[in-house]
Amino acid sequence: MSESSVSSADGQRRNMREALSAFVHPRVLTMLFLGFSAGIPILLIFSSLSLWLREAGVDRAAVTFFSWAALSYSFKFLWAPLVDRLPVPLLSKWLGRRRGWLLLSQLCVVAAICWMSATDPAQGLHSLILIALAAMFLGFSSATQDIVIDAYRIESAGQELQAVMASSYMAGYRLGMIVAGAGPLLLASYFGADPEVYNYAAWRSTYLVMACTMLVGLVTTLVIDEPSHETRQQDQHSVSDYLRFLLLFLAAVAVFISVFFVTSGIGAELKAGFSDGLVSGYLAGFLVEALRFGLALVAAALIGGFVIR
């Protein structure tokens, strides 16, 4: 073997070792554990909850309605600026802004799962409403956790690690989804759940165990370091500035939601008009919803700009 071939082989092995070593970098492993924490809640709202509700004898239409609890994932951009700018009282002083929000959102996820476990959907409409509210709270808390994890990933390492951290996060996320999807089925069966005879105690124990899996994220949040970028910029604003931003944010979101819902009647008429013409039903629906979304966004921006002035 020639000297050039040997050096080429050595170079390839060295590059491989360097590539693999990136996956055991502390920041990359952190994203693996945080990704696992982020992947747990979503299936506790969808497939696992649907199976529980069906065993409890809840009407199929009501079970389908519970999918609305996951809308927080689609609309998390509405409160993302709030999470990005505002500190959490007490927690941010103790842990820093990112870790403070992470711990708060993870504790809320645990509380929401425990709330769901404490509610028997077979006890009537009141219990069904309570578990629906708990599912909505779980979706909101989980979406907030996703916002903070994304911010933490961007601020905690340089550009050279971002791709590896993103892939590590997705690996952890998928692992969390597997645990939250298959885990409740195995646990419910172990605790005595039966499709023929509803057993609330089995599902209560199942969801309590799933709440314990969030300890992975909680422990990770407590042991990791706050991003240095965030530490440098944490205390640049006064309390009045934070309150002003909060009021501005709430006003803009209120206008956005109000305009979007107020235009629902006009949107239905436009869809009917488009469908009678040359535009197909699906395309008409997309165009009308895009128009409503655009109007709501413009109205929110105008209100925000007016308040700033």
Residues in the chain with pLDDT values less than 70: 1-23, 229-242, 267, 271-284, 304, 307-309
User: Residues of 228-239 as b/e, b for ≥16 C-beta within 10 angstroms?
Assistant: eebeeebeeeee
And the tokens for 169?
């996060």
DSSP assignment of 84-146 equals HHPPPTTHHHHH-HHHHHHHHHHHHHHHHHHHHHT--GGG-HHHHHHHHHHHHHHHHHHHHHH
pLDDT in tens, 243-268: 777 777 777 778 877 887 788 777 67
Long-range contacts of 25-30 (CB under 8 A, 24+ apart): 25/161, 25/164, 27/156, 27/157, 27/161, 27/165, 28/161, 28/164, 28/165, 28/168, 29/168, 30/156, 30/220, 30/224
Angstrom distance (rounded) from CA 154 to CA 116:
33
Topology given in CATH for the domain delimited by 10-233: Growth Hormone; Chain: A; (1.20.1250)
Q: What pLDDT shows up at residue 269?
A: 72
pTM, 2 dp: 0.76
Q: Which amino acid is at 239?
A: V
Angle of CA points 57, 60, 139, to nearest 5°: 95
Query: What's CA 218's distance to the chain center, in Å?
Result: 15
Q: What pLDDT shows up at residue 231?
A: 43
Q: What pLDDT shows up at residue 81?
A: 82
> Residue ranges per domain, the chain?
10-233, 239-308
- With DSSP H G I counted as helix, E B as strand and the rest as coil, what are the percentages for the chain, rounded to 5? 85, 0, 15
